[in-house]
């Protein structure tokens, strides 16, 4: 398989959502045009993305929804369960724990950690909040979600890496230093808000230099 870019991976994730919707509506086949329309891209881009892993729709017939969904599912690593730990049992952490959508995609939140004595030992949803110092390789965490105040983010990242965690989802508006074999994805709401206030502050109104979204 050819090397797949980050933006292709993101689009695969979006195609997967569309395929789930179409499957729920009882659809059996989907055209690259329809996949493209829902994403606001060209059908040529869709066909190129899907050709990376050898899936070619038949001209005039389109793609089998079930087959394509299973292929993308496997590519994205969604055909197994992932053990997720949330560090920081504040608003964001608790919202993630309460949201059931991740579990339906294979991401099981199996542990939640904090340092606040008011939270540690207390339940948050179905889990009891543990002290961060208890995090260890025995937890066998695949993905650590950093939902701490920004000050604590690097220290928590270091603790997760020391516990063998190789995927981090960072909600703190700070770049993290991690070894080369650890992946970090960032969800930085503060910076997104500030990008909007910056854009809306421009005197003559913003002109987009690339497509929105």
Task: Assess 39 for contact with a copy of itself (CB under 8 A).
Answer: yes
Q: Which tokens belong to 130?
A: 């543990």
**Smallest gap, in angstroms, from Cβ of residue 60 to a copy of itself?**
26
Binding to a copy of itself in span 68-127, by CB under 8 A? 75-78, 80, 82, 91-92, 94-96, 98-99, 101-102, 105-107
Q: Does residue number 169 form part of the binding site for a copy of itself (CB under 8 A)? A: yes
Instruction: Assess 13 for contact with a copy of itself (CB under 8 A).
Output: yes
Strand 127-128 and strand 123-124: pairing? antiparallel
By CB under 8 A, which span of 43-51, 59-67, 110-118, 165-173 interacts with a copy of itself? 165-173
Q: Is 162 in the site for a copy of itself (CB under 8 A)?
A: no
User: Considering CB under 8 A, how many residues would be counted as binding a copy of itself?
Assistant: 76
Reference 164, options 134, 133, 180, 140; nearest CA is 140
Q: Yes or no: say if 81 and 106 are a contact pair by the CB < 8 Å rule.
A: yes
Q: How many CA atoms lie within 13 A of 124 on its CB side?
A: 27
Contacts with 150 (C-beta within 8 Å, 6 or more apart), sequence order: 172, 173, 174
Separation CA 8–CA 11 (nearest Å): 5
Least distance in angstroms from the C-beta of 208 to a copy of itself: 6
Q: How far is the CB of 126 from a copy of itself (least distance, A)?
A: 15
- Subset of residues 184 to 203 that bind a copy of itself, contact rule: CB under 8 A: 184-201
Angle at 21 between CA 17 and CA 24, to 5 degrees: 140
Residues with Cβ < 8 Å from 205, sequence gap 6 or more? Answer: none
Binders of a copy of itself among residues 46 to 65 (CB under 8 A) are none
Nearer to a copy of itself, 9 or 134 (CB): 9
Tell which positions 129-148 bind a copy of itself, by CB under 8 A.
142-143
Collapsed DSSP state (helix, strand, coil) of residue 104: helix
Shortest gap between Cβ of 161 and a copy of itself (angstroms)? 11
């Amino acid at each position: 398989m050819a090397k797949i870019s980050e933006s292709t991976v993101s689009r695969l994730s979006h195609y997967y959502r569309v395929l789930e919707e179409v499957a729920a509506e009882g659809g059996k086949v989907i055209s690259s045009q329809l996949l493209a329309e829902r994403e606001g891209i060209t059908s040529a881009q869709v066909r190129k993305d899907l050709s990376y892993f050898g899936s070619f729709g038949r001209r005039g017939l389109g793609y089998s929804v079930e087959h394509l969904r299973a292929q993308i599912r496997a590519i994205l690593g969604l055909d197994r369960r992932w053990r997720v730990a949330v560090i920081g049992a504040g608003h964001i952490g608790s919202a993630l724990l309460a949201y059931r959508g991740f579990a339906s995609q294979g991401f099981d939140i199996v542990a939640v950690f904090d340092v606040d004595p008011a939270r540690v030992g207390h339940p948050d949803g179905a889990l009891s909040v543990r002290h961060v110092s208890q995090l260890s390789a025995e937890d066998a965490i695949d993905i650590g979600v950093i939902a701490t105040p920004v000050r604590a983010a690097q220290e928590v990242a270091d603790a997760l890496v020391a516990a063998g965690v190789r995927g981090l989802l960072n909600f703190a508006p700070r770049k993290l230093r991690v070894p080369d074999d650890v992946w970090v994805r960032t969800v930085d709401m503060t910076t997104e808000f500030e990008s909007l206030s910056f854009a809306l502050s421009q005197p003559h109104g913003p002109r987009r230099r690339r497509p929105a979204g």
